Structure 1
Amino acid sequence: MRSFYAVVPLSLALRAAALYEDWHFGNMFAIGPASNAQITKATYSLTPPAVPCGSVQEKSEAPWLSIWVGVSASMSDQTADLFQPLLNWSPDQEAQGCPATAEEWCVATSTYHLSGQVQQPYITVPNKSQIDFTITVDSNEITQEVSIAGEQVSKQSDDKSVSPTFLYSSNECYLNSCGTVAGYSWDNLTIHLNQADPNFGETLILYNATSSGLTTSDEGKTWHAESIKINEDYFYTDGSQKECSS
């Protein structure tokens, strides 16, 4: 496990830069690539933080924020599809096709292709609810599932266009004016590989995040982290860091 402050956000920026200059990436973690192994399944949970405060609409359209974990074969190659269930928020939820109020989050299974985003309809997340995510890779498809309180609320299956070797996350803000994002935790993260890789746990990289690390009980085929905590984050066009008032 190692922390760093430039390489991963740059990789994420490269993924978006060619087409989407208004996308900005914040705190996150990354795991991979596996050595001669591929990710076959990932499960993880999240209790969403409070919605952002201090967002500013500086253009004709409102900003929006996404929190996500996804799998792909690359972190920088635009042609490598990214399978990324999205937790989304905007001060103008209706404009994003989200049925929630501005005090709630929305969630949807979603896949990024070079040609654009393909996703299921957004579902409102009840405040303080735990969301459970599953990404499963088989020989033909990659399937994303999202459940709240044990009930599946979103599912999407795509052709297996890549063999995932990376699992990574980000706070992602459109227009860089989403405001202050409270810290939160990705919990009970488990990654299954198609073959054992005893060094996979050492690939964990943290950017303004903390974790006790990954452990394995089967010599490297299955890896588990109790939690990966993402620090408070800031998205302001002037680079400021503002705290939410209580």
Structure 2
Amino acid sequence: MRFSTTLLPLALALRASAMYDDWYFGNMFALGPTSNNVHITKATYSLVPPAVPCGSQQNGSDEAPWLAIWVGLSASMSDQTADLFQPLLNWSPDQESQACPASNQEWCVATSTYHLSGQVQDPYVPVPNDSQLDFTITVDQASNKIIQQVSVNGKEISHQADDKTINPTYIYSSNECYLDACGTLAAYSWKNMTIHLSDADLNFQNTIALDGARDSGMTTPDNGKTWHINSMRIDRDYFYPDQQDHECGSD
């Protein structure tokens, strides 16, 4: 496990600055920025989703909390005008409130892009328990689109193509909770992550920042143009209004 002394404060600042309007960001990893005008051209990764959170609280609010876990590509971690291309796994104790056609014992998934003007996404699709999701985000220069794809067992279940408004220089993740009442989220791991760059960037491995996360190490088969991480573990996370850790389940 490696920590970037320059980017870890940035990751922590993102987490802290996001705690407004009832949005709370938890454990995460970040890689970037790339160097010398190099940008990310493709990212692939897989996930077997963890158990849905336990211990969520509605606290008398008319709104139900909801939690999303994601990996996304952007040109910045701090500039809110930089679009974020982020397929979302979403869960709420009231799934209907999130237009998620699943029980509260299942996740939903959708390709999704955050714009400053709002979120644009494909409809949510239920995720069968214990299934593996495969994600691909491609920066397609020929079509001038950024294309997101999510598959289960080789079958595509969500697809989105947006205008290429950025050249991505960061890939990063988060656990994201609305109302800070999502409960306890078990640890989980993003697997088989491969990041393709437009050109070689040997410094890319030194930009990693980990907050409540552990990586298996980065390798490159082609001297810095392609990077691979076998596993990126995101530790157990807690979202409670009292800001305390409450154990209600096991990994």
Structures share a fold, TM > 0.5?
Answer: yes
Determine if contact 2:45/2:134 at 8 Å carries over to the other structure.
yes
Alignment identity in percent? 65
Q: Normalising by structure 2, report the TM-score.
A: 0.94
C-alpha deviation, 1:88, in angstroms: 0.3
Determine if contact 1:3/1:207 at 8 Å carries over to the other structure.
no
Alignment of 1:1-246 (within 5 A): 1-2=2-3, 6-14=9-17, 16=18, 21-36=21-36, 37-58=38-59, 59-139=61-141, 140-245=144-249
C-alpha deviation, 1:245, in angstroms: 4.4
CA separation in 2, counterparts of 1:216 and 1:73? Answer: 22
Q: Match of 1:2, SS?
A: coil
CA separation in 2, counterparts of 1:50 and 1:143? Answer: 28
CA separation in 1, counterparts of 2:79 and 2:9? Answer: 17
C-alpha deviation, 1:226, in angstroms: 0.2
Write the letter of the residue equivalent to 2:54. Answer: C
Q: Match of 2:202, SS?
A: coil
Write the letter of the residue equivalent to 1:166. Answer: Y
C-alpha deviation, 1:212, in angstroms: 2.1
Change (3 A) 1:13 1:111: farther
Change (3 A) 1:137 1:12: farther
C-alpha deviation, 1:9, in angstroms: 3.4
C-alpha deviation, 1:7, in angstroms: 3.2
Determine if contact 1:145/1:156 at 8 Å carries over to the other structure.
yes
Determine if contact 1:214/1:224 at 8 Å carries over to the other structure.
yes
Q: Match of 1:77, SS?
A: coil
Q: Normalising by structure 1, report the TM-score.
A: 0.95
Change (3 A) 1:12 1:240: closer
Root-mean-square deviation (CA, aligned residues, Å) is 1.4
CA separation in 2, counterparts of 1:10 and 1:127? Answer: 34
Q: In the comparison of the two structures, how many residue pairs are matched?
A: 243
Structure 2 unaligned regions, length at least 5: none
Change (3 A) 1:164 1:134: same
Write the letter of the residue equivalent to 1:8. Answer: A
Write the letter of the residue equivalent to 2:130. Answer: K
C-alpha deviation, 1:112, in angstroms: 0.1
Determine if contact 1:54/1:179 at 8 Å carries over to the other structure.
yes
Write the letter of the residue equivalent to 1:134. Answer: T
Determine if contact 1:204/1:213 at 8 Å carries over to the other structure.
no
C-alpha deviation, 1:11, in angstroms: 1.9
C-alpha deviation, 1:21, in angstroms: 1.7
CA separation in 1, counterparts of 2:28 and 2:42? Answer: 20
